[in-house]
Amino acid sequence: MLQAIPGLHPSGNLGAFFHAAVVAFPERVALVDLSGAAPRQITYAALEEEIRRAVTLLRSAGVARGGRIALALGNSATYLVGFLAAMRLGAIPVPVNHKLGREAIGFMLRDSGATGILADPTEAASSCEAAEQAGLALRLATRATREGWRDFDALLAAAAPDPHVEPMDFDGQAFQPYTAGSTGMPKGICLTHGGMLWGIEQSERYWPVSPQERGIVAAPMFHKNAMRGVIKPLLRGGGSVVILPRFEATSFLRALSEWRVTGAGGVPAMYAEIARHEALIRDLDFSALKLLSMGSAAVPVELLERLAALFPGVAVKESYGLTEGGGVLRPPLDGREVPRGSVGVVPPETEVKLLAPDGSEHPNEGELWVRCPYVLKEYVNRPELTAARIRDGWLCTGDLFRVDAEGFFHFLGRSDDMFVCGGENVYPKEVENLLLGHPEVDDAVVVPLPHATKGMAPAAAIRPRAGTTPDPQAIKDFCAANGPTHTIPRAVLLVEELPLTSAGKPDRKAVQAMLEVRFGALAPRREEGA
């Protein structure tokens, strides 16, 4: 496969990854952009021309090989155009989570060494303020004007197409996303042209996409769930992608139906919200839909089952991938069905091992380590973190897994989310699965709180099903009747909405702070005899 990439992508540049689809299907719709006042259908030929115009625009603005330009945009075709055009010049785009505060965005701009930014002032005002404060020389604004900024849309319309694609080495940096991780400021990740092209071609070789397939993006495009899971495989294979400006459950469902989407990806929180709209789901036509996939956070088995019931005949699966290492675990190639609660098996051309807490390799449970060309080159400006997380090419993911007798991997949670209750390891996902089995629980987030005798114990924030007001003690009793003692939440708080991060994942820090304020240290249950 490594030898095949130069033949498929002579320039070795990720910015031209869907060149073969442009040649084969120039008049086929590549994107359906729903971010504007009216839907915009863009063919492969039109998308290619727009990227070439952006190459001219950025080159004339001084963007060159090795330079860094930040992207702070909502979901739109413009995001993809700017992203790919910068890479075609050999520059390094820096996707910015524009939902963060100005301080965090300012840090990313400084840390990355960005000298320019392409931003949407209506969606990313904090990013614009941070760019102005940082004194970035190149400031391009799209969709709306801002004093002191150049009008990207007008400049793009006036630019002539430039077909130039800068040749890149396999190990050359392609772009620099940031991940917040569990603590501290965001961390810059160096992902390479060759590694990203390897990942795209690995998917195309073993899990090819038909040109008739259509995906949808509603998760933020600065997040790898959207790019790696939907945009890259669909455009590489000649399919099409519907782009929603943001996630909203009813708009998402209507777009699935109206635009005849065949497969959708996203994060569990999105699908938990979708599942609340049963009446609308019954009214819409999903006859084209074949797959619903979710990942980027722990996926409760009960949510998978609920969606399977709401969308009969549609495959509902849990996926696993990470910004630093790509799609590490995939469906088996021998046709075996992935059991509910598993994310798949080790794919070809990928090495995986599980390590116990003492650092020894374990046959069926532990922290996942992965080695393949996709793995990040380094954490930018973080040599200590790079040395700790990347060892002899192996990425220490921090994610805990169990492997069953058939070789299927089951995600248990983050190593820093797991806690010990009275000597027993507790994985929040395990307790959340238990809670979601209660008929009046719509969604739940479990975190540890200090406990007088157990050290730490599970506590839960719960969003009730519509029209219900469950009794917290009844929920505890349900868990006691259906799970082991260490999984019983010692405190339960009912909330209207669960806090989420800007990437749509459960915000466990916010939940923990909320529960600490409400309950403080937990007292023993009477049954515990203390």
Q: What would the 3-class secondary structure string for 408-470 be?
A: CEEEEEECCCCEEECCEEECHHHHHHHHHCCCCEEEEEEEEEEECCCEEEEEEEEEECCCCCC
pLDDT in tens, 396-437: 999 999 999 999 999 888 888 888 887 778 888 888 888 988
* pLDDT at residue 166, as a whole number: 96
Domain spans, the chain: 340-416, 419-528
- Which residue's entry shows tokens 């990854």? 17
What is the reported pLDDT for 528? 44
pLDDT reported for residue 17: 95
Q: How far is 160 from 82, CA to CA, in rounded Å? A: 15
What are the structure tokens assigned to 356, written together?
Answer: 């116990």
β-bridge partners, 117: 70, 139
C-alpha distances in Å from residue 32, one per residue of 43, 192, 259, 465: 9, 28, 9, 34
- Tokens representing 9 are 């992508």
- Determine the pLDDT at residue 7: 65
Positions of the chain with pLDDT under 50: 1, 181-183, 527-530
DSSP string computed for 138-201: EEEE-SS--TT-EEHHHHHHHPPP--------TTSEEE--EE--SSSS-EEEEEEHHHHHHHHH
Residues 142 and 50 sit within 8 Å (Cβ to Cβ): no
User: What's the topology of domain 340-416?
Assistant: Luciferase; domain 3 (2.30.38)
pLDDT at 91: 98
Question: Which superfamily does 419-528 belong to?
Answer: ANL, C-terminal domain (3.30.300.30)
> In the prediction, which pLDDT does 483 show?
86
